[in-house]
Amino acid sequence: MRIIIADDHPLFRKGVRNLLGTTDDLDVVGEASSGDEALELAGTMQPDLVLMDIRMPGLNGIEVTRLIKERYPRIEVLVLTMFRDDQSVFTAMRAGAKGYVLKDADEDELLQSIRMVGGGRAVFSSDIAERMIHYFSERTPSADTAAHPVLSELTKRELEILERIAEGDTNAQISARLHISVKTVANNVSNLLNKLQVADRNEARKWLQRTKDD
């Protein structure tokens, strides 16, 4: 199985590469330290699987996953990250990731996960699987969000900011209106774009308009 490791931490990439090097069936054919590099490598190397971190410079791992699955649907993506929150898990799944494993997984679990996803099966860390079961058993969407479940994944602050984006406000204007820092606005904008799976504010505005029209 031909594998690309996409992670911005050189020591972590080295550790994973050394682990895969102990096997006879898993071959690292490339490494990327940013989302843009991961996307480019996926196109040039055409691996069987990409081990994808979420937080990287440039395009984040979820954006890259979505683009890879759109352009090269044969390539499987296994997210390997420290983020264990529900939003990251479900956004990665919607983007096309076949598996979601935490970086604190032991070596045997990681190797098994790579082989399962490479073989076309879905896999999740035990901790993530338990969270998913709890999420679906406890979740009762409100009437306002039932028709558009993704809205229920946005925080109250993200919903407020999305409405201001729809009105055409800049980050500075949103900051002044909501009495929060520009940095906080920027972080929330980045989070909600990931959750909506849109590339920029303009697409977010169009997404919200379509939602209101439905």
Residues of the chain with CATH 1.10.10.10: 143-213
* Range 143-213: architecture per CATH: Orthogonal Bundle (1.10)
- Is the pLDDT score of 172 beyond 50? yes
pTM for the model:
0.63
pLDDT band at 159 (very low <50, low <70, confident <90, very high): confident
pLDDT of residue 155: 83
Residues of the chain with CATH 3.40.50.2300: 2-134
| Average pLDDT of the residues in 120-143 | 62
Maximum alpha-carbon separation in the chain: 58
pLDDT digits (tens, 9 = 90+) for 203-213: 888 888 777 66
Q: How far apart are CA 170 and CA 172, in angstroms?
A: 5
Q: How far apart are CA 75 and CA 87, in angstroms?
A: 23
pLDDT band at 127 (very low <50, low <70, confident <90, very high): low
- Is the pLDDT score of 126 beyond 70? no
Question: Which sign, positive or negative, has the C-alpha torsion 174, 178, 182, 183?
Answer: negative
Q: Does domain 2-134 have CATH number 3.40.50.2300?
A: yes
Q: Which helix (H) or strand (E) holds 29?
A: strand 27-32
